[in-house]
Amino acid sequence: MLAQILKDNTSLEIINLSKNMIGFTYVDERSMLEIKLRHQEELQEATFDKLFYDSLGLEHFTIAFKDTNRVRQLDISENDIGSKNFMILMPIFAANTRIENLNVADCNLDGHCADALCRILKASNQSLHTLKFRNSKLDEVGAMAIAELIKGHMSLVLLEIFNCGIDEAGGNAIGNALKTNFCIEKLSIGENILNQRDVEQIKQSVLFNT
């Protein structure tokens, strides 16, 4: 239902679905009990909700926006989407080349998701102002992808990669990329394992841009 509304309403440019449990399929109480009884072993190691998580909602959401170029702001943060399901959304980012604010924080994403997304944004989006990955398991792969995005993206002003598992190699790559980027004015990169020298370099680069 929501996907159909989004598809038909061509005036919608700002989409905020934060904390909306995107991708969860409704299951009535009786069915939940039956499934719970059939999956005792899995329930010992997995959260109950994840047994009902699938990509159905994400596929419908993608259908609504994959053939349009109207989205300016998209916030899908704090949804337990996961890396595999997040890849379903890639046609949205490829089609909507004028997204200015993109928030995918707290979506349980990995570095390969970040790599795929950053490649699309670098190739087709020159309007991006804000990008938030907060609390994602990006590791070195994601950090390198972000560094490449920074090198060629001159509209990005705010970048949030707080607590993303970025190591010293990733921090160094981001620090070096910032030497050629004079647009980023706000960068949240705390709670990552960075070399202090790179931390200082990053601070100086951001300070220079403000």
Give the list of residues 6+ apart from residue 2 with CB closer than 8 angstroms, or none.
60, 61
Tokens representing residue 169 in the block: 């190699």
Could you count the other beta carbons within 10 Å of the beta carbon of residue 99? 25
Tokens representing residue 181 in the block: 């980027």
pLDDT tens string, the chain, 210 residues long: the values are: 566 777 777 778 998 888 876 654 443 444 544 544 455 454 444 333 443 345 557 888 898 899 999 999 999 999 989 999 999 999 999 999 999 999 999 999 999 999 999 999 999 999 999 999 999 999 999 999 999 999 978 999 999 999 999 999 999 999 999 999 999 999 999 999 999 999 999 999 999 998
Q: How far is CA 102 from the centre of its chain?
A: 7
Q: pTM to 2 decimals?
A: 0.83
Tokens representing residue 37 in the block: 């009884």
- SS3 labels along 132-195: ECCCCECHHHHHHHHHHHHHHCCCCCEEECCCCCCCHHHHHHHHHHHCCCCCCCEEECCCCCCC
- What domains, with CATH codes, occur in the chain? 12-21+72-209 (3.80.10.10)
pLDDT of residue 33: 46
Task: Go through 167-178 and write b for each residue having 16 or more CB atoms within 10 A of its CB, e for each that does not.
Answer: ebbbbbbbbbbb
